[in-house]
Structure 1
Amino acid sequence: MTNFREIAWQGLWKNNPGLVQLLGLCPLLAVTATITNALGLGLATLLVLIGSNVLVSLVRDFVPKEIRIPVFVMIIAALVTAVQLLINAYAYGLYLSLGIFLPLIVTNCVIIGRAEAFASRNSLISSAFDGLMMGLGFTSVLVVLGTVRELLGQGTLFYGAEQLLGPWAESLTIQVWQVDTPFLLAMLPPGAFIAMGLLIALKNVIDRKLAERQPKIETATVTRARITKVN
């Protein structure tokens, strides 16, 4: 039986592609200057991840092992092209902002890695759920990084939201504080590296705290079980 809880835990936290596997760092660091760009790329990657996992799971029994990687890449490339055309048609401003990093989703190690490591060995539903969780984990890192960089860099949140959601979303932009001159360190790649390092450090601290609490929880559980048995 598929353990969906474990798949979700792996994708969202324990084996997060951005914070643990450190995959897809090039687009992750390059386009997260604003929440809008981060969310746009994250959703595009999420769609491709789910689609590629589903298709790879469907054809896994029909593809010879010798050519499985080229076949997987062709599937991913077709999905990326479709997503790219959709963004070009319905969110042209976002398409221009993301630039070359949209077609580069084809070479994103997160997608190829999940197709090879999970989708090619598991059922359709499990593969789709794995793609969803890994995509959400990757998107969450993009959005958190974009939030930190946009807030520190220009004092706003959801700047340029109309590029993703349409003209009505201009009202979503929040000016948290007034910035006369943008903080370039936060907006440029060096700031992205620093913020990413801090996020990884924060995750490690939380994991350490959880590991320290686990023996205490197990001891308390055993004690309660013994008391119940005696009674």
Structure 2
Amino acid sequence: MNRMENFKNGLIKDNPVFGLYLGLCSTLAITTSLNNAIGMGTAVIVVLILSNVIISAIRKIVPDDIRIPVYIVIIATLVSIIQMVIEAFAPALNTSLGVFIPLIVVNCIILGRAEAFASKNGVLDSALDGLGMGLGYLLAVLAMSFIRELLSSGGLVLTNPFNTEQVWMNLSLIPEEFRISLFSSPLGAFMTFAFLAAALTAYKSHAAKKAAAKTKEAK
């Protein structure tokens, strides 16, 4: 698999949330608004890229017996730095995301890519893998947040994370009597996830059947 194929797989085919079912705790919890999704998605992208690059760079000098603890220390350090930056410059976002920022340390996406890819590949490939998986996670939480916020509140609100008084977008699209408050609850999160995961599975199944049909015709 070349670099571009590996990068694109993280976006759709092997999407960490809807394809591999990783990082679901934070996904289900923080996808109540676009602001939360963008903040968490950006943090995960940064940690994924940096951890993959560092782990790839030191993969040949880390003994196999202690590689997992070393990976966790690297990821925990990066997450602590990201959390301090968010707390300093975007305190409202830090409050909104709460405990889920430090929990990035044990996010299965981060550790999974470190073990499955970065520890076996070069720095550039690992950086692209981290970017692809990170963008896949961001797209997943944005899709869930879009649906949940729109259906539960009737609109979409996006503010400046560094200045919450500055509103970038405030749309009201659904009349109050047609709003479904259920989608702001955990049950709504599970329903949204199930719908999107099923849609991706159906798409992958259709694509596989199409590819199989083309192969059969070619023979």
Please give the range of the TM-score, normalised by the shorter of the 2 chains: over 0.9
**Distance in structure 2 (CA, Å) of the matches to 1:108 and 1:54:** 17
**Distance in structure 1 (CA, Å) of the matches to 2:205 and 2:108:** 27
Summarize deviations over 1:157-208 as a string: whole Å, max 9, x none: 1x2523x253574041212234369633100111000110000111111112
User: Relative to structure 1, is the Cα distance of residues 39 and 117 closer, same or farther in structure 2, using a 3 angstrom cutoff?
Assistant: same
Moved more, 172-181 or 206-215: 172-181
Confirm or deny: 8 A CA contact 2:10 2:133 kept in the other structure.
yes
Match for 2:159: what amino acid? A
Alignment correspondent of 2:159: 161
Confirm or deny: 8 A CA contact 2:151 2:181 kept in the other structure.
no
SS of residue paired to 1:177: coil
Alignment correspondent of 1:187: 184
User: CA shift at 1:212, angstroms?
Assistant: 2.5
Unaligned runs of 5+ in 2: none
User: Relative to structure 1, is the Cα distance of residues 86 and 7 closer, same or farther in structure 2, using a 3 angstrom cutoff?
Assistant: same
Alignment correspondent of 1:25: 24
User: CA shift at 1:12, angstroms?
Assistant: 1.0
**Distance in structure 2 (CA, Å) of the matches to 1:62 and 1:27:** 33
Cα RMSD (Å): 1.9
**Aligned ranges 1:170-181 → 2 under 5 Å:** 170-179=167-176
**Distance in structure 2 (CA, Å) of the matches to 1:128 and 1:171:** 31
**Distance in structure 2 (CA, Å) of the matches to 1:25 and 1:150:** 18
Alignment correspondent of 2:131: 132
**Distance in structure 1 (CA, Å) of the matches to 2:176 and 2:27:** 25
Alignment correspondent of 2:119: 120
**Distance in structure 1 (CA, Å) of the matches to 2:26 and 2:93:** 14
SS of residue paired to 1:174: strand
User: CA shift at 1:10, angstroms?
Assistant: 2.1
Summarize deviations over 1:113-155 as a string: whole Å, max 9, x none: 1001100110000000000000001111000000000000001
Match for 1:104: what amino acid? L
Match for 1:59: what amino acid? I
Confirm or deny: 8 A CA contact 2:32 2:145 kept in the other structure.
yes
TM-score (norm 1): 0.89
Confirm or deny: 8 A CA contact 2:30 2:36 kept in the other structure.
yes
Normalized per residue, which structure has more strand? 2
Summarize deviations over 1:88-130 as a string: whole Å, max 9, x none: 1111111110000000000101000100110011000000000
TM-score (norm 2): 0.93
**Aligned ranges 1:36-185 → 2 under 5 Å:** 36-157=35-156, 159-162=157-160, 164=161, 166-167=163-164, 169-179=166-176, 183-185=180-182
- The structure that has the greater radius of gyration is 1
The equivalent position to 1:204 in structure 2, one of 183, 201, 204, is: 201
**Distance in structure 1 (CA, Å) of the matches to 2:45 and 2:88:** 19
